[in-house]
Structure 1
Amino acid sequence: MRLVIYAVVLLTILSAVIANWFVPRVGLNLWTLRKVSDVEFAVMREDAVRLVRGGLVRGALQPEDRYFVVSCHGKPVMLVDNSMERLVIVLFADRWIDVPCAVPLMLHWSGRIVAERVGA
């Protein structure tokens, strides 16, 4: 009976180690800022299209659309949403997603993000 208990405990520990090794770890950065005007949001989208290297910006094709998604190498890495009462920027980052394509954009926006976070 002891051998069965030891085997179950060993199998449980081994399963936990394997799961910990293969389960993706997602880093999530979330910024909420004051809502911007439609003109400011259009400029933000143009910045994204201009500054994202090797990536793709989707969404906000129509003037009434209030969001866009930045994808790098076919994987979404950033969501920018201005549809509610706040501007929300979500950056998904982990070791499997190549985020460097969005770095120039985040550097461009960082002054605004820091200024609003300090003022809040």
Structure 2
Amino acid sequence: MRPLIYGVVLLTILCAAIANWHVPKIGLNLWTLRKVSDAEFAVMRQDAERLVRGGVVQGARRPGERYFEVSCHGKPVMLVDNSMERLVMVLFADRWIDVPCAVPLMLHWSGRILAERARA
């Protein structure tokens, strides 16, 4: 019985080590900016739909929710949420997620992000 218990413990440790090694480490960029009006947020979504190359911009799933997601090649790369006290932009980036499709959008928004960060 004792060798069986040792075998299970060793197998559990080995599985945890392999899982930790294979779990993707996601780079996360987070910006919080001043909350924008509904009209400004609609323009931001239109910018995203126009500037994201080879990706998809998905809106809120329920009416009244104020966020959208950007996906590239089926993987989520960005979330923009204006439903709380601040506008929150989250960019997921690592070697497994292809973000070049969102680069034109980020370049377009970079002036706003930098100006807002300078004020904070």
TM-score, normalized by length of structure 2? 0.81
Which residue does the alignment assign to 2:26? 26
Q: 1:26 to 1:99 in 2, by over 3 A?
A: same
- Identity level (%): 81
Query: Is the aligned partner of 1:48 residue 2:48?
Result: yes
* Letter matched to residue 85 of structure 1: E
Q: CA separation in 2, counterparts of 1:99 and 1:89? A: 15
**1:82 shift after superposition:** 0.2
Alignment of 1:69 onto 2:69: yes
Cα distance, 1:25 vs structure 2: 1.0
Question: Shift in Å at residue 65 of structure 1?
Answer: 3.0
Q: Can you give the 5+ residue segments of structure 2 that lack an aligned partner in the other structure?
A: 1-12
Q: Distance in 2 between matches of 1:73 and 1:56?
A: 8
SS in 1 for 2:87: strand
CA shift at 1:21, angstroms? Answer: 4.0
Aligned residues: 112
| Structure 1 counterpart SS, 2:69 | strand
Map 1:6-25 onto structure 2 (within 5 A).
16=17, 18-19=18-19, 21-25=21-25
User: Within 1, Cα distance between the matches of 2:41 and 2:65?
Assistant: 10
Q: Report what 1:9 is aligned to.
A: none
Tell me the equivalent position of 2:97: 97
Q: Which residue of the partner structure matches residue 7 of structure 2?
A: none
Cα distance between partner residues in 1 of 2:81 and 2:50: 18
**In structure 1, how many angstroms separate the alpha carbons of the residues matched to 2:62 and 2:26?**
31
